[in-house]
Amino acid sequence: MGRAVPQRDRNPRPMATQARSWHADRPRECCGLVGIRGDAEAARHTYFGLYALQHRGQEAAGIAAAGGRTLRLHKGPGLVSQVFADRAALERLPGTAAIGHNRYSTTGASSAINAQPILIESKRGQLAAAHNGNFVNAAALRGAMEEDGSIFQTTTDSEIVLHLLARSRAARLPDAIEESLRHVVGAYAFLFLSPDMLVAVRDPFGWRPLCLGRLGQAPVVASESCALDILGAEYVRSLAPGEMLVVDGGGVHLRHLPAAPRQSACIFEFIYFARPDSRIFGRMADKVRRAFGRRLAEEAPAEADIVMAVPDSANTAALGYAERAGLRFEIGLIRNHYVGRTFISPHEHERDVDVRVKFNPVAGVLRGKRVVVVEDSIVRGTTLRNLLRLVRGAGAGEVHVRVSSPPIRCPCFYGIDMSSREELIASDQTVEQIRDFIGADSLRYLSIEGMLGVVPDADAMCTACFTGEYPTDVPADFHKEQFDRAGRAGA
């Protein structure tokens, strides 16, 4: 096991100063990947696949397409619909192969220069790459390269692999990719596109999901199966940890990277990230999520009248809780889906408005009721506190919070934007303190044993954010913007 990040000696932070906007108080998503080769409408189909994966990243989007001997790229900040608002952009991406990327920044600032795919020119010709995950040894690798004269155009760790590829003397691209990836440690699902081939690869630990499908005769790869569904593509299987899929004029070829000491699929994909209708790691996310809710009801029953969810990500777990508890499931909060993720409230009274803009309680459901509120996870707790105020303000008599995951006590270094203990309320607060802060009558979490008891292949899951037992060594000074000028100045 890797060593845990040492916790700084400090007094517990004042909870009243923790307030953030809604999306700063959630586990932030990873990125979304789509790739296809052998399809006359490759860019268009990649575009629709990215739409289905919009939940995995809202900061930027892009598509690189291979037409003849040339790669063309269109990318920018914003949602897929914004980046491709001019439909002529897709017409400028001809070809029968394409890769696409939705970005949420887990390394590197949220800026236009960090949008992906990244397109380079090297001795191998043009190459585009898209990445989901984080390297824990990125700082050491990049520092050594910069000392050796390398010039970086972005502040993401993804670009490191492209520098390694440019230095490789391997004759064939798949060999160069494998050689380059041997140098990095951490989580990755990668797509590479050259004029001749599409390459998809998962890291040997298997942190991030990647599945294979088929649209007619064209192989399709995507982070989640919902991207296949929107295309009408057939789901084939999940790529195995360390598996490399090479698609060229000769068909589909498989190879494998050296095995890792253990498999470490991110359990947060089941808890929160994946769409419930997606198949990830070979399993349907909604079935696992409902099982979390049922086990939570067994471990943490409550004397209550109704069960409701914090929409939308906790809906499935709440249904499982209500089913096992024998309580009626109700829609107690209505979420406004048309509020942009750029809505930021700098002042305390505006933060309350932030929550009210996004959620509205259903008073007729809540008035006079003892309510179980099911949430999938708690990061800082500030948004949940404001939501419970809404629930009580609508007349709920009692509010019991049940969380369908264990307390998040430790940072993540493998692709979730939780890279410091200061972000995590459970890192230095007891369950009772958190209950008092959010204003609940009771608070219970799903136990680690209970969570793993319902997950298929539990011994192949990464639970480091709950336990602090990291599958690799991790840097003590890691932070999201470590390669940005401001980040370096503050390091």
CATH number at residue 84: 3.60.20.10
The one-letter amino acid at 29: E
Element (H, E) at 319: helix 315-325
Buried b (16+ CB within 10 A) or exposed e, 121-144: eeebebbbbbbbbbbbbbbebbee
Sheet bearing 125-132, strands edge to edge: 118-122, 125-132, 189-193, 198-202, 243-248, 251-256
Q: What is the pLDDT of residue 420?
A: 79
Residues 199 and 291 in one domain: no
Evaluate whether residue 66 is within a structural domain.
yes
Distance CA 115, CA 127 (A): 15
**pLDDT attached to residue 16:** 33
Same domain, 232 and 373: no
Q: Same domain for 39 and 187?
A: yes
Kindly report the average pLDDT of the chain as a whole number. 88
> Would you call 40 helix, strand, or coil by DSSP?
coil
- In this prediction, residue 105 carries a pLDDT of 59
Tell me what pLDDT residue 194 has.
98
Nearby residues of 52 by Cβ (< 8 Å), 6 or more positions away: 224, 226, 227, 229, 230, 275
Are the C-beta atoms of 308 and 332 separated by less than 8 Å? yes
pLDDT at position 307, please? Answer: 98
CB 52 within 8 A of CB 226: yes
Same domain, 373 and 240: no
Catalytic residue list: 31
Query: Does residue 148 form part of some domain?
Result: yes
pLDDT for position 482:
53
Domain shared by 318 and 405, yes or no: yes
- CB-based contact 197:245 (threshold 8 Å): no
- Return the residue matching tokens 């000028």: 485
- The DSSP symbol for 14 reads P
Is residue 156 in some structural domain?
yes
Report the pLDDT value the prediction gives residue 154, as an integer from 0 to 100.
87
**Within 10 A of 458 (CB to CB), how many other CB atoms are there?**
13
pLDDT of residue 458: 94
Residue 275 vs residues 29, 185, 454: alpha-carbon distances, Å: 11, 27, 19
State phi, psi for 390 to the nearest 5 degrees. Answer: -65, -45
- Which residues are registered as beta bridge partners of 239? none
3-state helix, strand, coil in the chain (%, to 5): 30, 25, 45
Query: Is residue 20 in some structural domain?
Result: no
Which residues of the chain have a pLDDT value below 50? 1, 3-24, 106-110, 341-348, 480, 484-491
Q: What is the DSSP string of 370-409?
A: EEEEEES--SS-HHHHHHHHHHHHTT-SEEEEEESS----
274 assigned to some structural domain: no
Same domain, 247 and 118: yes
Q: Alpha-carbon distance 109 to 123, whole Å?
A: 29
Q: Is residue 277 part of a domain?
A: no
Q: Do 249 and 310 share a domain, yes or no?
A: no
Nearest residue to 480 via CA among 411, 424, 432? 411
What confidence score (pLDDT) does residue 416 get?
Answer: 86
Q: For residue 271, tell me if it sits in a domain.
A: no
Does 300 share its domain with 258?
no
DSSP element (H, E) containing 324: helix 315-325
Distance of alpha carbon 228 from alpha carbon 224, whole angstroms: 8
Q: Domain span at residue 195?
A: 31-266
Comparing CA positions, the residue from 18, 139, 94, 52 lying closest to residue 475 is 139
Alpha-carbon torsion angle 19, 22, 27, 30, nearest 10:
-130
pLDDT at 6: 35
Residue 158 and residue 465: Cα distance in Å, rounded?
23
